[in-house]
Structure 1
């Protein structure tokens, strides 16, 4: 019994010792498999941002929605997280140029907005209501100011040389503000050229008055500096004439002329009947009068004709929104199918905003003198854009099933521009400034958009050389470049329209 008992214990002990070994042998493969799986997942994650995939692999693995152009054979991102998508901004793949073209375009328009909003000298702000000597309009200047203007010692021949009669239209006529700046600029330049010849009078004043010559020299030097700065600004673009800097220079120069005139009056009270001194003071006063005349001409151009520039900012804001949405879509859409669907709808909505924003400058400035038509057209395009925007955000809108409907809606919104342009041609004529100021840039913009759309639709050039344009200058990338170029052309034309509108008053 004892021997049997010991044998039973030994058998039981061997069994107990064997069980952990069995458990170890059963657990080890599972643990090894788990580690292998983790390693593979880690390897896949770490290499996802390094390895790009082919068109065939995306379609084979069920990611066909990420690759809709069979002529782009490689360079596709797959299994990217949001962070990896963002970092892929600095990687080279088949969406890199798509992202950067519209991201840079958005940055350009954002900087233009800030520049125009902060600098103030590229667009004319609201007209200054504080005019010198009460001369606020061209008609008021011609009726009340012209005799006084010609009383200046040197100004009359300057006015005749620059065509002063053009500044005095009939009561129903119009004068371009640019003409006033042209005349004022000539008068200022003439005064500047006269200043060096007056330096010989400084010594004469010093001999007769004493202690005043230094003040005369200092006054004339300050006048030369401020007059030169203002003249240089007026000699530039007509939009510079109403900048904050020019307004400040005009105010400083006006104060300088008044100070100089008062100073010369004090000197005149000291010299009595001395003829040489009287002649010297008359010459100095003549320059002061000419500068004052130029300032009065500038004040005459600052009438109540105030042209808002908000339509230009509306267009620039729409360009920023559209290009930002597009760049975001092309950078982040590979995260997941839901992300792709949402960002694609956002991209379509951005396109709607750009189309609507492009209409605002053209309609507002072209129909500026016809408030009812202007309001009707702006309300129409805003309503159409709002409806298109709403439809664009619907999930079903971005599916292939509604490709034709989607295209027709965008085309209808875009081709609505034919209506106001045709109206302008019918009402004013093809060669009227209302039409000529915009028709050339408008055709160029249309050519860029149309060319880009044709390139995109025909998948040129990659359809003829599959795989050669995977990373650089594929049809979609060329389309993006055309969009940015067309938007910049439209921006430049919006500035031209604004300047023309500001320079052309409405008929009475």
Structure 2
């Protein structure tokens, strides 16, 4: 029932009872923000059947809904318990995870020790006074007569000379696991460009942040819900399209024509998907088939470059390793989509998974896991190209 406070507020204004959602005993929803005297109201969680039509999405989640709350209350609800809490936090934590990975990639890849340091060390060795070093080593050894085979030790010290290029090259090979740079054994040091990798990281962060904002603010009003859903779809398109940048660029960087062809195709598809997601005209039912086909085409567009990569680099272990991670990423994304579409597990026990464990939360976790898997594949691409070039 609507309490006396609400009744007196309505009677003292131009509002009618149509502006209040009817709820069962113990349930109240927020009044619509259309007048100043309606702002200070108590917001409580409601059940599925009390929701306005645009908020009814999953009939197996029965309770703990926020319905048309003021924006300030919605923002503060990020720290309270409702059926969207974990939907918000699973992708918000994912956003901060990828923000950390972006900073880590920019500052720690390549590592603290790189081949520029090796180049400087080699120059210092060339300029060293080796006769003086020999004398210092002899002076540092107080009693060679007590050392077995001390004559051999003296011979080794006396025969010390400038390290060869082969020696320095072998050091480079030893540093292979920790160094993310490519060096010509003589003079040149090359750093492979990172922009395709950072493009993927940016797309992942945009997708995860847009998803969190959508789940947090969509309960405010029908208009804001529509806007946030469009932004969420645009984020999905951005994640899918930018995910192809590292594998395409680093696989075909030595084949400029192929690289431009594949990158251009996925870029066009990505922009088209984002435009279709954002513009209201494309949300009409007659465009549903085109929207579905476009997103499906984006996913399939990654099959051709992967197969082409395996043909070109069938003898390279990195090609197989990255393909494994890419397949695993696809499996995680696909499994999440199936769980989300099938409404598992809440369809088996409606109301039991309202707070935690419902399909959308599992979908979010699998999306983050798939994106992290793709990040791991990206590191392999960087290591491969940095160490071998074309």
The TM tier, using the shorter chain, reads 0.7 to 0.9
Call closer, same or farther: CA 1:460–1:447 in 2, change over 3 Å.
same
Distance (Å, rounded) in 1 between the aligned partners of 2:65 and 2:123: 66
In 2, are the aligned partners of 1:86 and 1:332 still within 8 Å (CA)?
yes
Q: Which is bigger in relative contact order (C-alpha 8 A, separation at least 6)? A: 1
Identify the match of residue 311 of structure 1 among 193, 196, 207: 196
Identify the match of residue 419 of structure 1 among 301, 304, 312: 304
Aligned to 2:62: 73
Pairing 1:108–2:92 present: no
1:502 CA displacement: 2.8
CA-to-aligned-CA distance 1:259-302 (integer Å, 9 cap, x gap): 5636337769x9xxxx9999877644656745987446557961
Q: Secondary structure at the match of 2:244?
A: helix
1:414 CA displacement: 1.5
In 1, are the aligned partners of 2:95 and 2:205 still within 8 Å (CA)?
yes
Identify the match of residue 356 of structure 1 among 241, 248, 251: 241
Call closer, same or farther: CA 1:293–1:282 in 2, change over 3 Å.
farther
Aligned to 1:365: 250
Aligned to 1:154: none
Distance (Å, rounded) in 1 between the aligned partners of 2:88 and 2:95: 11
Aligned to 1:90: 79
Distance (Å, rounded) in 1 between the aligned partners of 2:61 and 2:10: 37
Pairing 1:263–2:132 present: yes
Q: How many residues matched?
A: 343
Distance (Å, rounded) in 2 between the aligned partners of 1:448 and 1:366: 23
CA-to-aligned-CA distance 1:206-253 (integer Å, 9 cap, x gap): xxxxxxxxxxxxxxxxxxxxxxxxxxxxxxxxxx4xx45664476368
In 2, are the aligned partners of 1:321 and 1:350 still within 8 Å (CA)?
yes
Call closer, same or farther: CA 1:286–1:103 in 2, change over 3 Å.
farther
Distance (Å, rounded) in 1 between the aligned partners of 2:84 and 2:309: 41
Alignment of 1:79-158 (within 5 A): 79-119=68-108, 122-123=109-110
In 1, are the aligned partners of 2:125 and 2:162 still within 8 Å (CA)?
no
Call closer, same or farther: CA 1:341–1:399 in 2, change over 3 Å.
farther
Identify the match of residue 441 of structure 1 among 302, 317, 325: 325
Alignment of 1:100-249 (within 5 A): 100-119=89-108, 122-123=109-110, 240=111, 243-244=112-113, 247-248=116-117
Q: TM-score, normalised by structure 1?
A: 0.60
Contiguous gaps of at least 5 residues in structure 2: 1-6, 14-29, 32-36, 174-181
1:55 CA displacement: 0.4
Q: CA RMSD in A?
A: 3.5
Pairing 1:324–2:209 present: yes
Distance (Å, rounded) in 1 between the aligned partners of 2:160 and 2:90: 55
1:308 CA displacement: 2.0
Q: Secondary structure at the match of 2:183?
A: coil
Aligned to 1:55: 48
Aligned to 2:120: 251
Distance (Å, rounded) in 2 between the aligned partners of 1:463 and 1:447: 23
Call closer, same or farther: CA 1:431–1:476 in 2, change over 3 Å.
farther
Q: TM-score, normalised by structure 2?
A: 0.76
Identify the match of residue 483 of structure 1 among 367, 379, 390: 367
In 2, are the aligned partners of 1:254 and 1:295 still within 8 Å (CA)?
no
1:495 CA displacement: 0.9
Distance (Å, rounded) in 2 between the aligned partners of 1:257 and 1:280: 23
Distance (Å, rounded) in 1 between the aligned partners of 2:279 and 2:207: 18
Q: Secondary structure at the match of 1:307?
A: coil
CA-to-aligned-CA distance 1:39-72 (integer Å, 9 cap, x gap): x977984421xx21110000xxxx2212300001
Call closer, same or farther: CA 1:45–1:431 in 2, change over 3 Å.
farther
Alignment of 1:260-409 (within 5 A): 261=130, 263-264=132-133, 283-284=156-157, 289=162, 294-295=167-168, 297-298=170-171, 302-303=183-184, 306-398=191-283, 402-409=287-294
Aligned to 2:379: 495
CA-to-aligned-CA distance 1:314-355 (integer Å, 9 cap, x gap): 111110111111111111111211111111111111111111
Distance (Å, rounded) in 2 between the aligned partners of 1:74 and 1:405: 35
Distance (Å, rounded) in 1 between the aligned partners of 2:225 and 2:306: 37
In 2, are the aligned partners of 1:366 and 1:434 still within 8 Å (CA)?
no
Call closer, same or farther: CA 1:299–1:84 in 2, change over 3 Å.
same
Distance (Å, rounded) in 2 between the aligned partners of 1:405 and 1:467: 35
CA-to-aligned-CA distance 1:92-127 (integer Å, 9 cap, x gap): 1111111111111111111111111123xx33xxxx
In 1, are the aligned partners of 2:9 and 2:38 still within 8 Å (CA)?
no
In 1, are the aligned partners of 2:329 and 2:373 still within 8 Å (CA)?
yes
Call closer, same or farther: CA 1:33–1:335 in 2, change over 3 Å.
closer
1:371 CA displacement: 1.0
